[in-house]
């Protein structure tokens, strides 16, 4: 048993830990509400940004409604002929904090508010995670609060909250670094493995994109510095253990995130990524060098790091404030006592300079590095800069308090004066930059306030005990408050694009279209002089209306080419794909013959063509084969009876012609839909001759089929439609959208999560058992 003084110390330590666990989240919650509380009530929403209105919210609504109906949203049937979602690189279906299973996002009006709160929830998650990281780095409580506050209250993080997938992924970034640090220091490596793998998995599940790339490179730099340190200290065995544990963390991460990461990586070869006016990237190809300079900062813009200037910002903001930079410079004096400081300083500086793109030449280096050349906007690297400055400021504040707590004499050393001179030099550069000032207080007031924020620290040599912590807390609040002077705005709902007159008119028209009796068996084409058809298509998702378009950047290239680039509006190909309805504004008639005016809906004309192919039909004759999509489209434009006839790929021609034979007359058939949901369709088909049942959805390997209970392989018809062979007589045919690779990885993930949960329980039990007997635990 420990001695009595040790037991007393152990009891006090346990109580202080419990007190911190209780009070730290409450303090952070209070600061968070102080900073962002004005945005968390009333009719404000950060989700009124265009990408939310016309991309995330419609897809989130479809996913949420599918789960509510008992369907798994592997795909969405309303966009571009049917688009896979399980391999979407923009977000994943299984990230828990999108709350897809909770009944949110059911309609566009409420979804805007709900996504707003989900975004701010992730800001708070980032706040807590950054605090945890700093405490794991052995930073004291008050400096840890300072660093986490600088991080999450920065304009950069606030700007990221506009894109839910970006803020969701980056909110777990600090916890990933925390797990890696525990592993590299060989300090509670089991906790590090579990913490690192779980947080990195959540980052990937949110979106396997830029945040993952930044995490990989950040971890590589930390490992490199740690390896050099271990090698110099002749600790090769410890280095091998840390390397093994990192690999184990990576393996667990792969298990947890495989349902997202593997399909994205496998299917990326078939994707196209647009780059504005620059050439798009297809497959694994990288963007052009010019495309990676979008929104780069010039050197003068770096003055916005210290003062609240209007700096160009596509997706990143460099402002952290004078106090944060000043304290971060003091962190350099922790470099010898804490190995983590040098790599943080290196990565932080490199990220800031990378935001300048080609002006300093770092864009050429980044363009040659794998994955980093996927970034279109150099200012995306400002996340790493703001994160690094926040951590370094916490170290610097702790060092400054420690020095001032003894006397002023140490502070007057040349090395400390060099920091003051450097800060003044940067400040002069910032003041003389000529950038437009946008702070909520005057520039003079901001400069004076930033300077006076540190003044209470001069009282530290005259104060003892907990009074020093109180003074430090006051200084922390003043430094944080200076950061609040950077303007942050959230639009009210009426000011957002959802509540624009044109968008509301679109929803009223779509709601009327959804009442058409047979609309679910056909597709709709849109033509509007004031709005792009992509936005109409995304709005149509709320009403389960099937279209050819979508509003998205990364999409399957071949599908995009066939459904969008084929001039579908003016081609009989649209009728083959089921475009019975044509809605337009300001048009006399559709560009394709055969459409008849049906009605007007709120000033929009609805045309109907009864020759369009429905969702289910029967093919009784194969006309021939095609070698390419261009050849097939030429045959469609030449005309044929696609309601009964079809063209097939050359490889399928012999088998299908042999199956159908040479019918002397057109076969008679009857189709009855017995069951239909998002992923499954069951049909009863009666035919007086062998035939091919056609499902008018875009062909994807995820489609499975069975005839009379026997699994059969679907065949491709008419370039991208789905067919199965049926015999003469009565047949029960089932189609099911079932991506087997994704489903298997989901099962593996579930097993891995059970193992993780059990391991966590065992680890916690052993820890508390040991803590009862070991002083200091």
| Structure confidence at residue 15 (pLDDT) | 63
DSSP designation for 604: E
| Structure confidence at residue 776 (pLDDT) | 47
| Structure confidence at residue 771 (pLDDT) | 60
| Structure confidence at residue 397 (pLDDT) | 92
HEC profile of 741-762: HHHHHHHHHHHHHHHHHHHHHH
| Structure confidence at residue 663 (pLDDT) | 64
- The set of residues, in sequence order, having a beta carbon less than 8 Å from that of 341 and lying 6+ positions away, is 331, 332, 334, 335, 392, 395
Q: Whole-angstrom Cα distance, residue 57 to residue 102?
A: 15
Whether residue 152 contacts residue 384, with contact meaning beta carbons closer than 8 Å, is answered with no
State whether residue 523 is helix, strand or coil: strand
Q: How far is CA 310 from CA 23, 35, 317, in A?
A: 37, 21, 10
Distance of CA 85 to the CA centre of its chain: 13
Q: Whole-angstrom Cα distance, residue 401 to residue 407?
A: 10
Dump pLDDT digits (tens) for 318-349: 999 999 999 999 999 999 889 999 999 999 99
Q: Residue 391: which of 379, 401, 383, 381 has the closest Cα?
A: 383
Buried b (16+ CB within 10 A) or exposed e, 85-121: bbbbbbbbbebebbbbeeebbeebeebbebbbebbbb
- The set of residues, in sequence order, having a beta carbon less than 8 Å from that of 520 and lying 6+ positions away, is 544, 546, 615
Dump pLDDT digits (tens) for 266-310: 999 999 988 878 888 888 888 889 989 988 999 999 999 999 999
Q: How far is CA 493 from CA 41, 45, 540, in A?
A: 12, 6, 21
| Structure confidence at residue 522 (pLDDT) | 95
Query: By CB neighbour count within 10 A (0-12 exposed, 13-18 middle, 19+ buried), where does 330 fall?
Result: buried
Cα dihedral 128, 133, 136, 138 sign? negative
Q: Whole-angstrom Cα distance, residue 566 to residue 636?
A: 12
Q: Whole-angstrom Cα distance, residue 67 to residue 245?
A: 37
Token pair, residue 352, equals 């800031």
- The set of residues, in sequence order, having a beta carbon less than 8 Å from that of 179 and lying 6+ positions away, is 191, 192, 193, 194, 195, 196, 197, 198, 199, 200, 249
Q: Residue 118: which of 175, 65, 171 has the closest Cα?
A: 171
Model pTM score:
0.92
What DSSP element (H or E) covers 272?
A: strand 271-275
**Side-chain-facing half-sphere of 409: CA atoms under 13 Å:** 2
Whether residue 207 contacts residue 166, with contact meaning beta carbons closer than 8 Å, is answered with yes
Q: Whole-angstrom Cα distance, residue 155 to residue 36?
A: 12
Q: Whole-angstrom Cα distance, residue 404 to residue 463?
A: 11
Q: Which residues of the chain have pLDDT under 50?
A: 1-2, 8, 12, 776-777
| Structure confidence at residue 532 (pLDDT) | 80
Q: Whole-angstrom Cα distance, residue 153 to residue 488?
A: 10
């Amino acid at each position: 048993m420990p001695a009595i003084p040790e037991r007393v110390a152990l009891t006090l330590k346990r109580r202080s830990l419990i007190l911190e666990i209780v009070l730290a989240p409450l303090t952070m919650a209070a600061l968070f509400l102080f900073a962002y509380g004005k945005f968390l009530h009333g009719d404000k929403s950060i989700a009124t940004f265009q990408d939310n209105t016309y991309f995330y919210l419609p897809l989130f609504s479809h996913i949420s409604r599918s789960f509510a109906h008992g369907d798994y949203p592997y795909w969405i049937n309303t966009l571009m002929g049917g688009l896979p979602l399980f391999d979407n690189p923009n977000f994943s279906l299984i990230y828990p904090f999108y709350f897809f299973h909770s009944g949110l996002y059911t309609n566009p009006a409420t979804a805007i508010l709900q996504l707003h709160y989900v975004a701010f929830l992730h800001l708070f998650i980032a706040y807590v995670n950054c605090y945890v990281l700093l405490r794991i780095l052995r930073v004291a409580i008050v400096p840890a609060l300072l660093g986490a506050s600088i991080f999450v209250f920065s304009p950069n993080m606030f700007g990221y909250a506009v894109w839910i997938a970006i803020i969701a992924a980056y909110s777990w970034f600090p916890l990933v670094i925390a797990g890696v640090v525990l592993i590299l220091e060989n300090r509670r490596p089991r906790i590090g493995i579990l913490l690192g793998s779980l947080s990195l998995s959540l980052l990937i599940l949110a979106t396997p994109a830029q945040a993952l790339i930044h995490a990989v490179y950040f971890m590589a730099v930390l490992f490199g510095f740690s390896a050099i340190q271990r090698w110099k200290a002749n600790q090769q065995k410890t280095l091998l253990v840390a390397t093994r544990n990192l690999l184990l963390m990576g393996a667990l991460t792969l298990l947890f995130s495989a349902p997202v990461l593997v399909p994205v990586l496998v299917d990326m070869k078939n994707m196209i990524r647009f780059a504005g006016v620059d050439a798009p990237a297809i497959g694994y190809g990288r963007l052009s060098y010019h495309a990676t300079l979008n929104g780069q900062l010039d050197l003068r813009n770096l003055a916005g790091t210290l003062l609240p200037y209007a700096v160009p910002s596509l997706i990143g903001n460099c402002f952290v404030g004078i106090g944060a930079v000043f304290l971060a410079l003091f962190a350099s004096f922790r470099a010898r006592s804490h190995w983590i400081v040098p790599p943080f300083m290196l990565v932080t500086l490199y990220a800031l300079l990378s935001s300048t793109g080609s002006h300093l030449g770092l864009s050429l280096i980044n363009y040659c590095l794998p994955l980093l050349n996927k970034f279109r906007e150099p200012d995306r690297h400002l996340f790493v800069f703001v994160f690094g400055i926040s951590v370094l400021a916490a170290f610097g504040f702790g060092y400054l308090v420690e020095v001032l707590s003894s006397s002023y004499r140490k502070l007057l050393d040349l090395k400390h004066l060099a920091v003051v001179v450097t800060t003044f030099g940067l400040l002069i550069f910032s003041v003389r930059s000529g950038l437009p000032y946008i702070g909520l207080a005057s520039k003079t007031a901001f400069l004076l306030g930033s300077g006076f924020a540190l003044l209470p620290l001069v009282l530290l040599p005259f104060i003892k005990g907990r009074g020093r912590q109180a003074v430090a807390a006051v200084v922390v609040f003043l430094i944080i408050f200076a950061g609040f002077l950077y303007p942050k705005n959230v639009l009210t709902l009426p000011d957002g694009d959802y509540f624009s007159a044109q968008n509301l008119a679109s929803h009223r028209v779509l709601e009327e279209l959804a009442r058409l009796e047979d609309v679910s068996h056909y597709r709709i084409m849109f033509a509007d002089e004031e709005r792009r058809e992509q936005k109409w298509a995304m709005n149509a998702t709320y009403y389960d209306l099937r279209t050819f378009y979508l509003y998205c950047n990364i999409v399957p290239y071949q599908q995009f080419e066939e459904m969008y680039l084929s001039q579908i509006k003016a081609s009989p190909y649209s009728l083959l794909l089921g475009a019975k309805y044509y809605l337009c504004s300001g048009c006399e008639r559709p560009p394709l013959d055969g459409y008849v005016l049906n009605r007007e809906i709120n000033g929009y004309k609805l045309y109907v063509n009864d020759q369009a192919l429905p969702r289910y039909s029967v093919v009784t004759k194969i006309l021939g084969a095609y070698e390419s999509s261009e050849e097939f489209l030429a045959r469609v434009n030449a005309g044929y009876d696609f309601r009964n006839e079809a063209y097939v790929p050359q490889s399928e021609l012999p088998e299908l012609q042999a199956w159908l034979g040479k019918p002397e007359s057109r076969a008679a058939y009857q189709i009855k839909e017995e069951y239909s949901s998002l992923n499954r369709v069951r049909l009863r088909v009666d035919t007086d001759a062998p035939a091919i049942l056609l499902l008018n959805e875009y062909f994807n390997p995820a489609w499975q089929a069975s005839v009379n209970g026997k699994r059969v392989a679907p065949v491709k018809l008419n370039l991208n439609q789905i067919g199965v062979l049926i015999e003469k007589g009565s047949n029960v045919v089932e189609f099911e959208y079932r991506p087997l690779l994704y489903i298997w990885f989901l099962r593996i993930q579930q097993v891995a999560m059970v193992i993780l949960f059990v391991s966590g329980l065992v680890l916690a039990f052993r820890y508390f058992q040991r803590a009862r007997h070991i002083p200091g635990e």
